[in-house]
Structure 1
Amino acid sequence: MAARNHTCAPEFLLLGLTDDPELQPLIFYLFLSMYLVTVLGNLLVIMAVISDSHLHSPMYFFLSNLSFNDICISTTTIPKMLLNIQAQNQGITYTGCLTQIVFALVFGIFENFVLAAMAYDRYVAICHPLMYMVIMNPRLCVLLILLSFSLSIVVALLNSLMVLQLSFCKDLEIPHFFCELAQVLKFACSDTLINNILIYFTTSLFGIPMCGIIFSYTKIVYSILRMPSVNGKYKAFSPCGSHLSVVSLFYGTGFMVYLSSALTNSSRNTAVASVMYIVAPQMLNPFIYSLRNRDMKGAFRKLISRTHSLLCFYNGSK
C-alpha cells in the first residue's frame, strides 16, 4: 500500500456510529440534545458557584473546573460529528483530526486530576477538619489546577508531535465519531513504536490520580468508622456521595470501553461503547451534584430567582 507523507495533509474519514442512513437523523438529534444538556447543565453549575458566596470554597472551586472541563471535552468531539451528519460529509482535515487528538487528551487527563484533587479535598475536610482552611488555601487550590492542566498539555503535545512525524496510508477511514489517538495510529505506514510507548505512558498517568482517589477514600472510610455516632458518620460521608458517583461514572464507563475493545474485534462496537465515556459522564455530572447536594440546590434556586427578577425588570423597563 502506498504511503502518503504527513506533509501532504491527508484527509481522514470519520465513519461515525452507524452506516444506516435512516438512523442518522436520530443520532443527530440525540447527540444534539445531549450536547445542549451538557453545556447548559455545566454552565449552570459554574454560574451557581460564582454567584453564591456560600459556594466559594475549595470543593466548589474544583467542581466549577470540572464543569468547565466537561463542556470543553464535549465541544471537542460532538459538534464536528453533528456537522458531518448534517452536511452528509464524513471528512475531517489532518489539522482538524490532530486538533481533536490534542484537546481530547488534554481534557481527558485533566478530568482525572481534577477528580483526584476533589478526593484530596474531601480527605482533608474529614480527616483533618481543624486544619482544613490552612491546608486547602486558595493558593494550593489554584496551584493544583495549574499543575494538572500544565501536565495535561505537555503530555498531549508530546503525543501530537509524535503523530506529526508519521506517514499515513491511503485508506484513512476511522470507525469512530472523533479522532481517537489509538485509532489514528492504526493507519500509519511508518513505525509507531515510540507513539505506542507514549500511549502506554499516557495511560499510566490515569493510574496516578486513581491511586490518589483510592488512598483518600481509604483514609476517609477509616476515619468515619472510628466515629461513635451514626448520625455523625452520615454527615461526614454525605458530601462525598456526589463525588463518588461522578468518579464511579467516569472510571466505570472508561473500564467499559476498555473491556469492549478487548473483547470485540469490531472497532465500530468500541466507538459505540466510547459514547458512554466521552458523552455520558459530562452530561450527567451536573445532575448528580444538583440532586445530591443541598447547597447546589439552594444556589440553583437563587440563580433562577435572580434571573427571573432581571427578566421581569428588563421587560418592565420596556
Structure 2
Amino acid sequence: MVRNNRTSTVTEFLFSGFPQFEDGSLLFFIPLFIIYIFIVIGNLIVFFAVRMDTRLHNPMYNFISIFSFLEIWYTTATIPKMLSNLICEKKTISITGCLLQMYFFHSLGNSEGLLLTTMAIDRYIAICNPLRYPTIMTPQLCAQLSAGSCIFGFLVLLPEIVWISTLPFCGPNQIHQIFCDFEPVLRLACTDTSMILLEDVIHAAAIIFSVLVIAVSYVRIITVTLRIPSAEGRRKAFSTCASHLGVFLMFYGSVSLMYLRFSTTFPPTLDTVIALMFAVLAPFFNPIIYSLRNKDMKIAIKKLLRLQKVFNAPAS
C-alpha cells in the first residue's frame, strides 16, 4: 500500500514503473527470464573461451573477457528483482536493498564504461602505433588498467550512495521506474532536492567525457585505416574494431538517452523502454556481437564447447 502521509517513515519503496498486469505477467516474465539466462550463459562462454585459449591471451581479448564478466553481474543487479516483481503482487524493495541495487548497478556500469574507454585506447594504439604497441600495452599495464577500471568504478559512487543513505524518506514511496535509480529515488526525499541537478551534471560530464575519448580514438582509427593501401589490410583493421564500436554505440546510446536529458520528462512507457534498453537489451546483444563478428572468438568458443562435451561424455 502506498503511504501518502508525509509524517510517516518510509522503510521500503514501491515500484510503480511496472504496468499493472492481471493474468499476463508470464507473457513478460518468460521472455525476460530467457534473456537473462542467455546473457549469463553467453557472457560466461565468452569469458571462459578467452581464458582457456592461449591464442587469445592478449590485451584486446583480456578486456573483452573482463567486460563479459562484468555484464553478468551488471544484469544480475536488476533483472532478478524485475522478474520477482513481475510475478509478485507486492512490488517493493527495502531502502537498504534499493541503495545496494543502485550502488552495484551503477558501479558495474561505470566500470564497463571505463573498460570500453580503455578498449578504444587499446585499439587506437594497436592500429595507429602498431610497432610500439607491444612495448606500450604490456601485460602489466593491461592488468593495471583492468583493475583500475573496476576499482575506480566502485569507489567513485561510494560518497554519493552514503549521502543518499542519510536523506530522510517519509512518503510517498513510489519509484516511477522498474529498478532503483538516482533521480527517481532522490525525488522521494522529503528534503531539499536541488542536488538532483548537480547529480545530473556530474553524470552527464562523466558520460560526455568517455564518449569524447572513445569518439576521438575511433575517428583517428578510421582515418589511419583508410590510408592502408591494401583492401585486405583495411578489412582486417575494421573488423577488429567493429565489435567494440557496436558495443560502444549500444551502451552509450542507451545510457545517453537515460542520463543526458536533464529536466526533460518522457512518458512512463517510453521511460521503461529506455531503461530496458541499457539494463537488458544492450547486455543481451554483447555476447552475440563478440562471438559472431570475430573469427578467432568463434574458433575459441567451438573449442570450449567441444572440450565441455569431452568432460561430460560417459566413460566407456
Under TM normalisation by the shorter chain, which class is it? over 0.9
CA distance in 2, matches of 1:258, 1:235: 35
3-state SS of 2:172 partner:
coil
The aligned runs of 1:120-131 (5 Å cut-off) are 120-131=121-132
**One-letter code of the match for 1:171?**
P
Structure 1's 256 and 197: CA in aligned 2 closer, same or farther, altered over 3 A? closer
C-alpha distance in structure 1 between counterparts of 2:264 and 2:195, whole Å: 26
Q: CA deviation digits over 1:96-123, x for unaligned, max 9? A: 0000110111011111111111111111
Identity fraction in percent: 37
Letter of the 2:92 partner, please give it: G
Q: What is the DSSP-based 3-state SS (H/G/I as helix, E as strand, rest coil) of the residue aligned with 2:60?
A: helix
How many angstroms apart in 1 are the aligned matches of 2:272 and 2:246? 24
Matches within 5 A, 1:56-71: 56-71=57-72
Pairwise CA RMSD = 2.0
- Cα displacement string for residues 124-167 of structure 1 (whole angstroms, at most 9, x for unaligned residues): 11111111111111111121122222222222212111111211
Distance 1:299 1:79 in 2: 30
Cα shift readout 1:207-257 (whole Å, capped 9, x = no counterpart): 222121112112211211222222221122211111111111112223444
Aligned runs of 1:237-256 on 2, under 5 Å? 237-256=238-257
Structure 1 or 2: more helix by fraction: 1
Q: CA deviation at 1:65?
A: 1.0
* 2:161 aligned partner: 160
Give the drift of 1:273: 2.0
1:75 paired residue number: 76
* Residue 53 (structure 2) aligns with: 52
2:60–2:119 Cα contact (<8 Å) kept: yes
C-alpha deviation, 1:261, in angstroms: 8.4
- Whole-Å Cα distance in 2 between the matches of residues 271 and 161 of structure 1? 27
- State the distance in 2 between where 1:46 and 1:236 align: 23
Q: Which moved more, 1:193-202 or 1:259-268?
A: 259-268
Q: How far apart, in 1, do the equivalents of 2:30 and 2:213 lie?
A: 38
Offset of 1:4 from its aligned partner?
5.5
Match of 2:284 in 1: 283
Q: Which runs of 5+ in 1 are unaligned?
A: none
1:203–1:150 distance in 2 versus 1, CA, 3 Å: farther
**One-letter amino acid of the structure 2 residue matched with residue 51 of structure 1:** M
1:202-221 to structure 2, matched below 5 A, reads: 202-221=203-222
Q: Secondary structure at the match of 2:41?
A: helix
CA contact (8 A) 1:168 1:187 kept: yes
Say how many residue pairs are matched.
313
In structure 2, relative to structure 1, the CA distance for the partners of 1:20 and 1:86 (3 Å cut) is closer
8 Å Cα contact 1:45-1:67 kept in structure 2 = yes
C-alpha distance in structure 1 between counterparts of 2:256 and 2:90, whole Å: 31
TM-score under structure 2 length normalisation: 0.92
Residue 194 of structure 1 deviates from its aligned partner by 3.5
Paired residue secondary structure (1:102): helix
Change (3 A) 1:196 1:158: farther
Contact 1:120 1:213 in 2 (8 A): yes
Paired residues for 1:180-191 under 5 Å: 180-191=181-192
Q: CA 1:254–1:198 in structure 2 vs 1: closer, same or farther (change >3 Å)?
A: closer
Residues 61-94 of structure 1 deviation map (CA, whole Å, 9 limit, x = unaligned): 1001110111111000010111223332201011
Tell me the equivalent position of 1:111.
112
1:120 counterpart letter in structure 2: I
Q: Which amino acid aligns with 2:87?
A: Q
Gaps of 5+ in 2: none
**TM-score, normalisation: structure 1:** 0.92
Q: Give me the whole-angstrom Cα distance separating, in 2, the residues matched to 1:79 and 1:260.
A: 27
Cross-structure match for 1:134: 135
Q: For 1:250, what is the secondary structure of its paired residue?
A: helix
- One-letter amino acid matched to 2:190: C
Cα shift at 1:260: 8.2
Measured in 1, the distance between the counterparts of 2:284 and 2:240 equals 21
Q: Which whole-Å CA distance do the structure 2 matches of 1:154 and 1:191 have between them? A: 26
Q: Secondary structure at the match of 1:130?
A: coil
Q: Would the alpha carbon gap of residues 118 and 97 (structure 1) be closer, same or farther in structure 2, given more than 3 Å must change?
A: same
